[in-house]
A = this chain, B = another copy of it.
Amino acid sequence: MKVIKYPKREDWSTILARPTKTVKDIETTVNQIFEDVQRNGDKAIQKYTSMFDGVVLDSIRVSSEEIEEAIKTISEDLKKAIEVAKSNITCFHKAQQTDRVYVETMSGVTCWQEKRPIQKVGLYIPGGTAPLFSTVLMLAIPANIAGCSEIVLCTPPSANGKIANEILYAAQLCGVTKIFKVGGIQAIAGLTFGTATIPEVYKIFGPGNQFVTVAKQLATKYSVAIDMPAGPSELLVMADDTAIPAYVASDLLSQAEHGVDSQVILVSTSKKLVEAVNKEIKRQVKALPRIVIATKAIENSTSILVKSTSEALDLINEYGPEHFIVCTKNTAYFTDNIANAGSVFIGNYTPESAGDYASGTNHTLPTNGFSKAYSGVNLDSFTKSITFQKISKQGIKNIGKSIELMAEAEGLEAHKKAVSIRLESLKKGK
């Protein structure tokens, strides 16, 4: 890791700059595939599946037989592990349920807010060498708790036309209603427009490569909501001499193995800690199967020495990390004052891996500084709140004059009259 010692505040934005990518070229491709899927439906889906995934499928819908087969292949140990994760994720997301908010704002004027499930949601799970079944848990479990009635999962098939057993296992376990062997841009287009086979949905969740990211962005132009904009995964660790260097190194490496564009930052007030962590990284990286990726990501990463914890806090809030591990003597200072972060991990025995898989928190988090305005996926991501109001005869008498005056001042006479006509009738004792 590069070590930057006591940088000036005006240099922070340069030091913390994330690599930005131009997506102009991708946009043209994405637009074309969207138009094709909108016009030609399943036929276009089949064409792009053949083109990008190298397989021609008779049926893209996963059958119950395929699911049954997949279940058999999962070891009892892994099933138990997934059960623990499911139980914890369920527990934490159920706890996020809220009662309706009911208020009589003035006599006779009652207002309330209720959350209702988004009826149809789409979950995108990337394919590739590693089956990211943990993301199935992170999305399908809260969708189910929220009460979404249609939970559609799309994931690309491998060249043999199959989907990883772990993904199928997790999907059936967590209440996914339909699973399709469709990936990439064509999957997002299918969920956006619907085809004879794939149902259209109201909101699309899940990670993906840059093609999927641009496709999700385009989906929003067609009135489909998305969970959040995407970007490379990030970890920032704040550590002082109370941190155990070997643990910190292992956490930084777990982030680094994601990809060469992973963002890994260590912030510390202790020169000694920074040196010890860097030494540990060199030692531990050798044992990793993904050594090439991790080494490259670590080379692009930065250790930043700062003068004080308050300076550290400011710097961290300016960056707004997706994952934020705090291993310091006074962790409360950071947890009380952190303004921008996706998820915070506290102390020496709380690795990011815990939140990635099993502790209960969601691992779909705002990266790329989006934590300044976006929440990670949570129960509310699968609901929307609707407001209600009921005004009694006395209520409209109490509030009517105010509405009339304001509507008049805005020059909206019909808005005023909708109140006046009621007040006049009530005056006449009707």
- CB within 8 Å of B: which residues of A? 77-78, 80-82, 84-85, 87-88, 91-92, 95-96, 98, 101-103, 105-106, 109, 111, 113, 116-120, 129-134, 166, 202-203, 217, 220-221, 223-225, 229, 244, 246-247, 250-251, 253-254, 256-258, 284, 287-290, 294, 335, 338-362, 366, 368-376, 378, 380, 384-393, 395-396, 399, 401-403, 405-407, 409-419, 421-422, 425
Contacts and interface: CB of A to CB of B under 8 A. Distances in A.
B392 A353 contact: no
A217 B117 CA distance: 25
A64 B378 CA distance: 42
A329 B189 CA distance: 43
8 contacts: A103-B360, A109-B360, A203-B373, A256-B414, A257-B412, A288-B413, A288-B417, A354-B399
Contact of A95 (B103, B225, B348, B349): B103
Nearest to A426: B349
Contact of A224 (B220, B356, B371, B373): B373
Given A373-B203, A415-B353, A418-B352, A368 B223 contact: yes
Nearest to A287: B417
A384 B374 contact: yes
A347 B109 CA distance: 12
A254 B418 contact: yes
A387 B376 contact: yes
Chain A interface SS verdict (over half): mixed
Nearest to A385: B375
Stoichiometry, copies per complex: 2
Given A118-B373, A220-B229, A358-B406, 19 more contacts: A91-B103, A92-B113, A118-B372, A131-B410, A247-B421, A250-B421, A254-B417, A257-B415, A288-B414, A335-B388, A344-B387, A347-B390, A347-B391, A350-B390, A351-B422, A375-B385, A375-B386, A378-B387, A380-B380
Contacts of A129: 411
A351 B419 contact: yes
A98 B98 contact: yes
Contacts of A288: 413-414, 417
B224 A386 contact: no
Nearest to A376: B387
A92 B417 CA distance: 25
A284 B338 CA distance: 56
Contact of A389 (B287, B350, B369): B350
Contacts of A419: 351, 353-354
B229 A409 contact: no
B343 A389 contact: yes
Given A101-B96, A357-B406, A418-B250, A343 B391 contact: no
B111 A360 contact: yes
B106 A84 contact: yes
A296 B356 CA distance: 55
A409 B109 contact: no
A417 B253 contact: yes
Given A129-B411, A229-B220, A343-B387, A95 B101 contact: yes
Contacts of A405: 77-78, 81
